[in-house]
Chain A
């Protein structure tokens, strides 16, 4: 089945810094989502981005489906950005999402 790898596994930033998180996947997909799991455990939808580029405030994402990767950019990071960032893609061309192992982000004040 499809494999999803995220990097880096851990990231520590000083408030105000920028960062790039990466998601690689082993097969072609028609769906990719980025989620933020906050310190209280809630999964928050960030982007639904099967291809192209989207922006939402300080966050943006780019998926290059032909090269099987997606990038999540966080600019001017804030302490509230801390948590775990997951990307997820469909399993076996279905609606079932398979998750990467996540990038754990800590933003220090």
Chain B
């Protein structure tokens, strides 16, 4: 049982380049999330998807777009990367029955130079 899988694990981009971070879960969860973690800080929510076909902004959505491709997959796109987006990105999923438990992927370390 893989849980939540993110690709890639590491990426270096030049300022202005674009890229898509991929996330897939095999736990049949309805909700999926993208967080970023900056050095010495907790995780902050970028976007979430409560169910297939819906997405909504979190605390720090500027500079990002998301796509809930199907129930399993939730991607995060940086259209024009900036150095301020250098961070570790985590994808997570959870069921929608309240209360519920969230599970996280292994993270993507992104550096924008």
**Number of A residues contacting the other chain (C-beta, 8 Å)?**
22
The answer to whether residues A86 and B101 also contact, given A42-B107, A96-B58 and a CB cut-off of 8 A, is no
Cβ of B2 under 8 Å from chain A: no
List the A side residues contacting B98 at CB < 8 Å: 30-31, 95
User: What is the count of residue pairs linking A and B with beta-carbon distances less than 8 angstroms?
Assistant: 58
Of B12-20, B38-46, B60-68, the one with at least 4 CB within 8 A of chain A = B38-46
Interface string of A14-48 (1 = CB under 8 A from B): 00000000000000001101010000011101001
Closest to B50 in A: A95
B74 at the interface (CB under 8 A from A): no
Question: Would you call the interface of chain B mostly helix, strand, loop, or mixed?
Answer: strand
B42 contacts A86, C-beta separation under 8 Å:
yes
Structural contact, B45 and A96, CB atoms closer than 8 A = yes
Could you tell me the distance between the alpha carbons of A35 and B35 in the complex, rounded to whole angstroms? 15
Chain B interface, number of residues (Cβ within 8 angstroms): 27
Q: Are B102 and A97 interface neighbours, CB within 8 A?
A: yes
Report the stretch among A54-62, A66-74, A99-107 that lies at the interface: A99-107
Task: Choose one: B43, B90, B100, B103; the contact of A95 (CB below 8 Å).
Answer: B100
Q: What B residues does A50 contact at CB under 8 A?
A: 99
B52 to chain A, nearest CB (A): 14
B41 and A97 form a contact (CB under 8 A): no
Contacts of B35 in A (CB 8 A): 99
A–B complex contacts, Cβ < 8 Å, 24 sampled? A31-B98, A31-B100, A33-B102, A35-B104, A41-B109, A42-B107, A43-B90, A86-B43, A88-B43, A88-B102, A91-B45, A94-B50, A95-B31, A95-B48, A95-B50, A95-B96, A95-B102, A96-B33, A96-B58, A97-B43, A97-B45, A98-B59, A99-B35, A99-B43
Cβ-closest 4 pairs across A and B: A99-B42, A43-B104, A48-B101, A31-B99
Q: Which residues of B contact A (CB under 8 A)?
A: 31, 33, 35, 41-45, 48, 50, 58-59, 88, 90, 92, 94, 96, 98-104, 106-107, 109
